[in-house]
Structure 1
C-alpha cells in the first residue's frame, strides 16, 4: 500500500506539472501610445513585458513579431530597424534596412520579417520593393524584387510549407504568392487594404482583408469557401481591421482584430464551425493598436516559462 501511495503521489505531481505547461501563451506587440511587447497567459495575465520605442522615432505601430526557437523575441520599434531581445531584456542582434545592403539614401520601411530555421532572417522592404534574406552578420544572401505593390505598403508576408512567399500589399489590395526565384505563382485581388494571409493545412488560403473588416478562405482557383464580414455570426463581436492570422495544431483559426475599440476582443479563436471559442480582450494593455501577435504552442510556452523562471526580477 505504501508503494502504491507513493506511485499515486508521483503520478499526481506529474499530472499537475503537465497541466501547468499544457497551455498557449500569447506574445503581443502593440504601439499607438502603448509601445509594448508582452507575453501573457490565456487569461491575459502579463508574465513579461518590455517597453519599446514609439511615436518619438516616427513609428506608428508594431507590425510583426516572432518568438525564436532560443526563446528570444524578434521585433521592430522603428520603420527600418529589427532587434532580437532576450527575456532578460538584452538586445543581442540588430539590423537596419535604412543603411544596409544598398539602401542608404533610399526610402524604405519594414512591416514583415521572419527568422528561418537556418538562422538567416527574411526581411520585406517596402519602398525599395524587395524581399531579402540576410545571415547573422547582416550579409545579403538572397533577394528578389516585389512585382505587385512593393514600392507601396506591403504588410504581412508569410512563408508557406512549400517555401513560397504570401505577400500582402495594401496598394493595390492584393495577395501575391512568389516562389524563391521571385516569380508570381498565384494571386488574389481583395480590393481592400489587405493585411495578412496564410496557407492553411488543406491547401486553401486564409486572408485577413484589413480595411475590409473581414476574414475569408479561398481555394487555389480563387473560389471563396466562406467569409465573415463585420459582425461574427451569433455574437456581438465586430471585426474591424483584421491583421495577423494563425492556424493552431487543432485546426482552429486565430484572427487579429485591430482598431476595434474597447468593446471588442483584439484576438479571437474560431473552431471548425466558425464559433468563437477563445478571446484575448486586454484593451488596457494593448489599446486600439494591436496589429501583431503570436499564439505560442505548448513547447514554446514551456520554454518561455522555463526561461522566465531564471530571469532576475
Structure 2
C-alpha cells in the first residue's frame, strides 16, 4: 500500500470526516496535559502540501508543493490554494473542483468554502479583488480590494468572510487589516503600525486575520515576529513574541489558528530548521511544537485522536 492509499484509508476511518462543524466544543471534556498533546494537521507549505498524522508522519500528500491556504472540509474533501490555481480533492484524490488565475501575473492567495457551497478566493494583481465562484468555477461575486500597493505579491494574504457578510482582509504593505462590505466599501481598519507595536520600522506586516467569537481579531505580523489580538476598537489586548518564549520560535509567523481551548497555534514560515509550527497558551507558555516540514498555513484536525469541533478559526 503506497503512502497515498495508506493516508486516505486512515483519513476515511477517522471521525474527522464525520464532524458536524456546528457542534460546540467544550474544552473541559478533553483535559489534556501539555506533555501529552498530539495533533494531526493539514499543511500548506513550500516543500509539502498534505496531512501529517499525530505521530508526525505524512499520511496524505497532494503531490504539489508551494500551497498557500487550504482546508479539510467537513465532507472529508481537501480544498487547496496555490498561486496559480485552486483544487478540491475527494477522499479518493480525484480533483472535483478547480479554479485558475486569469492572468499569469496574478497570484491567488486565499481559498475558503462558504456555507452556501460557493468558494471564496483572493486574486492579487492589477485589479486586486475577492471573488466568489460557484461549483462550475464561474465568478458570481467580485469585491474590489484596496491594498495600497501595486506590488502584486505583497497586496493581500489570508482573507476571510465574516458572519455579517463582510470580508476581513490583511494588506501587508498597508500595515492594515481592512473590513470590507460586499460593495468594496471599507468599514473598519485595524492598524498594525501602532507605536506600541514598534511603528512601521518593526515591519508588522499583517498576514492572517481571524475574527474570534468574542469579537476580537487575532492577527499574525510576519516580519514583526509577533502575534497580536485587537479588541473591536483596534486596541492591542494580547501580544506574544520571542521575548515571551525562551525557544524564540517566531520566524516570520504567517498562519495561525485559535483552538477551542483558547490556545493559539502559529506557523513560523521563515524557520529553515527547528520549530516550524507551535502552540501557545493564553499565558504565553509553549505547550506543543512541530519541527518537520515548513508551514505557510495549516489546519489543526485532531488532538489526541479527537477531531476539533466547530468552524476552524484560522
TM range (shorter): 0.7 to 0.9
Alignment match of 2:177 (pick from 175, 182, 197): 175
How big is the shift at 1:163?
Answer: 3.1
What's the CA shift string for 1:248-273, capped at 9, x where partnerless?
A: 1222211111112312x211112221
Once residues 278 and 259 of structure 2 are traced to their aligned partners in structure 1, the CA distance between those partners, rounded to angstroms, is 12
Asked whether the 8 Å contact 2:45–2:67 carries over to 1, the reply is: yes
2:44 corresponding residue in structure 1: 29
Structure 1 stretches of 5 or more lacking a match? 1-16, 55-60, 99-104, 304-313
Asked whether the 8 Å contact 2:225–2:252 carries over to 1, the reply is: yes
Asked whether the 8 Å contact 2:97–2:137 carries over to 1, the reply is: no
Asked whether the 8 Å contact 1:25–1:301 carries over to 2, the reply is: no
1:120 corresponding residue in structure 2: 118
- What is the TM-score normalised by the length of structure 1? 0.75
Alignment match of 1:81 (pick from 57, 69, 85): 85
Once residues 291 and 69 of structure 1 are traced to their aligned partners in structure 2, the CA distance between those partners, rounded to angstroms, is 22
What's the CA shift string for 1:38-67, capped at 9, x where partnerless?
A: 212234122222321x5xxxxxx3211111
| 3-state SS in 2 of match to 1:228 | strand
The answer to whether 1:253 aligns with 2:257 is no
The answer to whether 1:164 aligns with 2:161 is no
How big is the shift at 1:91?
Answer: 1.3
Once residues 149 and 108 of structure 1 are traced to their aligned partners in structure 2, the CA distance between those partners, rounded to angstroms, is 16
- Pairing 1:1-313 to 2, within 5 Å after superposition: 24-31=39-46, 34=47, 36-52=48-64, 54=65, 61-77=66-82, 79-98=83-102, 107-127=105-125, 128-149=127-148, 151=150, 152=152, 153-190=155-192, 191=200, 192-233=204-245, 235-263=246-274, 265-282=275-292, 286-287=293-294, 290-297=295-302
- Change in Cα spacing, 1:297 to 1:184, as seen in structure 2 (3 Å) is farther
How big is the shift at 1:140?
Answer: 1.8
How big is the shift at 1:236?
Answer: 1.6
Asked whether the 8 Å contact 1:231–1:239 carries over to 2, the reply is: no
Structure 2 stretches of 5 or more lacking a match? 1-13, 20-29, 31-37, 193-199, 309-314
Once residues 80 and 97 of structure 2 are traced to their aligned partners in structure 1, the CA distance between those partners, rounded to angstroms, is 11
| CA-based RMSD | 2.6
* Pair member with larger Rg: 1
How big is the shift at 1:113?
Answer: 1.5
How big is the shift at 1:297?
Answer: 4.7
How big is the shift at 1:116?
Answer: 0.8
| 3-state SS in 2 of match to 1:296 | strand
1:57 corresponding residue in structure 2: none
How big is the shift at 1:245?
Answer: 1.5
- Change in Cα spacing, 1:302 to 1:239, as seen in structure 2 (3 Å) is closer
How big is the shift at 1:225?
Answer: 1.1
- Change in Cα spacing, 1:150 to 1:108, as seen in structure 2 (3 Å) is farther
What's the CA shift string for 1:2-44, capped at 9, x where partnerless?
A: xxxxxxxxxxxxxxx99xx98752011222xx2x222122341
Once residues 94 and 259 of structure 2 are traced to their aligned partners in structure 1, the CA distance between those partners, rounded to angstroms, is 30
| 3-state SS in 2 of match to 1:25 | strand
How big is the shift at 1:302?
Answer: 5.9
Once residues 149 and 64 of structure 1 are traced to their aligned partners in structure 2, the CA distance between those partners, rounded to angstroms, is 23
